[in-house]
Amino acid sequence: MTKIQLANLQYLYKHDDCEGPHPLDTHHIVIQQNSARVFLVFLFALLLFINAIYLCLLNVTANSSSRSSKWLGTLGTIFLLSMLSNACLVKSYYGTLIEKESVVIIPSLGVQLEAHYWSGRVVRSFIPIDKILKPVLKENVTPFTCYWSLVLLVRGKKELNLAFE
Amino acid sequence: MGDPKRHRILMVSDFFYPKFGGVENHIYYLSQCLLKLGHKVVVMTHAYGNRSGVRYMTGGLKVYYVPWKPFLMQNTLPTFYGTLPIIRTILIREQISLVHGHQAFSTLCHEALMHARTMGYKVVFTDHSLYGFADVGSIHMNKVLQFTLADVSQAICVSHTSKENTVLRSGLPPEKVYVIPNAVDTAMFKPTAERPSGNEIVIVVISRLVYRKGADLLVEVIPEVCRMYPNIYFKVRFIVGGDGPKRVRLEEMREKHSLQDRVEMLGAVPHARVRSVLISGHIFLNSSLTEAFCIAILEAASCGLLTVSTRVLPDDMIVLAEPDPTDMVQAIKKAMSILPMIDPQDMHNRKLYDWHDVAKRTEIVYDRALKCANQNLLERLSRYLACGAWAGKLFCLVMIIDFLLWRLLQLWKPAEDIEVVPDIVLSHDEDREISQDFQVFNKDHSLR
């Protein structure tokens, strides 16, 4: 069993080549979590929260009692909505954040693609070997950048694979 | 990168295949000849419909179709700084040494040259057209050109007239401008073995039927020539190829003078068929009012036709006329009288304009451009200040913001993160294999 490990600032690449009765070739790419990015997301959420509280406090102290109930109702709604949007934001961010991606090559059977997300969700897809036409290195051009990605040409449709970032 | 003479060039323009025209042809042929000389060439243009991403053309020419939508006349939307990230990425991943922009009317070209200068690359600009000075559009275009050319390493124009025009419009010192004419693909434009005989003279006109190409002059010249040469001794026929807003006027002229049997309207002629139309004639008529460099005349001369035109070729290959109907009629008369003395093969063999020659001369310009000194931001800003009282300060501000954005981009996406593209060199065998496949395909076609 041969193990190769390469690392740079953003990614960690692991390769397990298992030979013997059940040969298995696994490649993992683990995204080194960028603490700065996590910090920024939490900071943003915190700022929204503080903003909501500030609005509440400002209007509660400024207004007279006759209209206070109406204002309290409005502010309460704003507060709740902002908390909800915060929660949605953080959840969606973590929902789409990928922790690790793997390609498992099972000779004579096919290829399995896995994506492990931070929320614990795992998405797997298996492509049988007779469906694979060719693996191709593709250059993706977007309006702002250009990057390589590994693509498997599958009979019937095109499929993207491996490191999304 | 062991060979110091090998350049790595990025050609930038809004105008490239699949759109068809003079600039596109120029970029393609020049790139192919430079590839043959051993340099690396990459082309960058905007996406055309579905055609987006990276494509490879003959000889390993890599084309980036960047997905920025065109907004006006095939030009990318000018966002000033929007294209900075993608241009930086392309320059780093292809390890470009020099950026060559084409056509003053192309916004992508101007932006690319600006960003390339900010990042310290050497820059060459080629102007393909003539522009006026008086109308609002021209004034703005000239100001933009002045901005771009204030800091360009070298400039190329396609004719001496074009050089004069560019120097006047942009205020560039004439020593920086080189004249390298366009060329014609002589392999494609060959005369026939036998000239079309019979007792008729065929005059061919192929151009876009717009005001600038003198379509209005044609409306007056054609009936006059037909009137001067009624079908008594020999027939004079016209073949008009091309389409445009003035086509209606030509059709009306045809109806009015009942010239349906003497004037044939072909409509738009695809470039692949131009040669077959040219070789069916004896004289080529070009009535353009203004032209930086008329490739049409060269193509006609390469096919062995005598030319009547308002522009320039050697005296024995062309009859000149003023853009005035009477003068043009006289010129056609003179052309018809000297027609028997013309040998088409001799004209074709003159080899005046050849793409390999153009590529070699362009290579010299690149060598000179790369020898220019590196300048830092402050020295470059002084050049922009000279552009005008208000404009100079505005240009300086634009360049300073560009510089700051570039530094920000360097921090956010460091150059080490951008993967360098390995050089793909087509071996001689692979090239032959591809051409053999092509031959097989051709054989099938002809069998059908």
pLDDT of A68 > 70? The answer is: no
Domains annotated for chain B, with CATH where assigned, are 8-183+356-417 (3.40.50.2000), 200-349 (3.40.50.2000)
Q: Which of A139, A143, A147 sits opposite B68 (nearest CB)?
A: A143
The answer to whether A145 contacts B65, with C-beta atoms less than 8 Å apart, is: no
The answer to whether B86 contacts A147, with C-beta atoms less than 8 Å apart, is: no
**Residues of A in Cβ contact (< 8 Å) with B52:** 141
- For residue B95, what pLDDT is reported? 93
- Which residue out of A137, A138, A146 would a mutagenesis test of the B interface target, given it has the greatest number of B Cβ atoms within 10 Å? A146
Q: Which residues of B touch A (CB under 8 A)?
A: 52-54, 64-68, 82, 85-86, 89-90, 93, 413, 417, 419, 421
The answer to whether B53 contacts A139, with C-beta atoms less than 8 Å apart, is: yes
Tens digits of residue pLDDT in A125-148: 888 888 888 888 888 899 998 888
**Angstroms from A31 CA to nearest CA on chain B:** 14
A120 touching chain B per CB within 8 A: no
Residues ≥6 apart with Cβ < 8 Å to B302 = B184, B186, B189, B190, B191, B347, B348
pLDDT, chain B, mean: 83
The answer to whether A146 contacts B64, with C-beta atoms less than 8 Å apart, is: yes
Split at pLDDT 50, 70, 90, the class of B375 is confident
**Angstroms from B67 CA to nearest CA on chain A:** 5
**Angstroms from A140 CA to nearest CA on chain B:** 6
pLDDT of B86 > 90? The answer is: yes
**B284 within 8 A of B306, measured Cβ to Cβ:** yes
**Residues of B in Cβ contact (< 8 Å) with A142:** 67, 86
The H or E element spanning position A164 is: none
Give me the residues paired with residue B179 across strands. Answer: B157
Q: Which of B54, B65, B85 sits opposite A145 (nearest CB)?
A: B85
**Residues of A in Cβ contact (< 8 Å) with B86:** 141-146
Tens digits of residue pLDDT in B293-315: 677 888 888 888 888 887 555 55
pLDDT of B340 > 80? The answer is: no
Q: Residue B83: closest CA among chain A residues belongs to which residue?
A: A144
Q: Residue A9: closest CA among chain B residues belongs to which residue?
A: B417
Tens digits of residue pLDDT in B393-436: 888 999 999 999 999 999 888 888 788 888 876 665 555 544 44
The answer to whether B89 contacts A146, with C-beta atoms less than 8 Å apart, is: yes
**A118 within 8 A of A128, measured Cβ to Cβ:** no
> 0.80 exceeded by the pTM?
no
Q: Which of B66, B82, B413 sits opposite A141 (nearest CB)?
A: B66
The answer to whether A143 contacts B413, with C-beta atoms less than 8 Å apart, is: no
**B226 within 8 A of B201, measured Cβ to Cβ:** no
The answer to whether A141 contacts B65, with C-beta atoms less than 8 Å apart, is: yes
**Angstroms from A131 CA to nearest CA on chain B:** 26
A1 touching chain B per CB within 8 A: no
**Angstroms from A5 CA to nearest CA on chain B:** 19
The answer to whether B419 contacts A148, with C-beta atoms less than 8 Å apart, is: yes
**Residues of B in Cβ contact (< 8 Å) with A146:** 54, 64, 86, 89-90, 93
pLDDT of B346 > 50? The answer is: yes
pLDDT of B438 > 70? The answer is: no
Where does residue B64 rank: exposed (0-12), middle (13-18), buried (19+ CB within 10 A)? buried
Q: Residue A143: closest CA among chain B residues belongs to which residue?
A: B67
Of B439 and A47, the structure prediction assigns the larger pLDDT to A47
As a three-state string, the secondary structure of chain B is CCCCCCCEEEEECCCCCCCCCHHHHHHHHHHHHHHHCCCEEEEEEECECCECEEEEEHHHEEEEEECCCEEECCEECCCCCCCHHHHHHHHHHCCCCEEEEECCCCHHHHHHHHHHHHCCCEEEEEECCCCCCCCHHHHHHHHHHHHHHCCCCEEEECCHHHHHHHHHHHCCCHHHEEECCCCCCCCCCCCCCCCCCCCEEEEEEECCCCHHHCHHHHHHHHHHHHHHCCCCCCEEEEEEECCCCCHHHHHHHHHHCCCCCCEEEEECCCHHHHHHHHCCCCEEEECCCCCCCCHHHHHHHHCCCEEEECCCCCHHHEEECCCCHHHHHHHHHHHHHHHHHCCHHHHHCCCCCCHHHHHHHHHHHHHHHHHCCCCCHHHHHHHHHCCCHHHHHHHHHHHHHHHHHHHHHHHHCCHHHCCCCCCCCCCHHHHHHHHHHHHHHHHHHHHC
- For residue B46, what pLDDT is reported? 92
Q: DSSP assignment, residue A124?
A: E
**Residues of B in Cβ contact (< 8 Å) with A145:** 85-86, 89, 413
- Which residue out of A31, A37, A141, A148 would a mutagenesis test of the B interface target, given it has the greatest number of B Cβ atoms within 10 Å? A141
**Angstroms from A25 CA to nearest CA on chain B:** 25
**Angstroms from A148 CA to nearest CA on chain B:** 8
pLDDT of A24 > 90? The answer is: no
- For residue B114, what pLDDT is reported? 93
pLDDT of B246 > 60? The answer is: yes
pLDDT of B140 > 70? The answer is: yes
**ipTM (interface predicted TM):** 0.70
Q: DSSP assignment, residue A129?
A: G
pLDDT of B193 > 80? The answer is: no
**Angstroms from B86 CA to nearest CA on chain A:** 5
Q: Which of B67, B82, B421 sits opposite A141 (nearest CB)?
A: B67
The answer to whether A142 contacts B67, with C-beta atoms less than 8 Å apart, is: yes
**Angstroms from A64 CA to nearest CA on chain B:** 49
Report the percentage of chain B scoring pLDDT > 90. 27
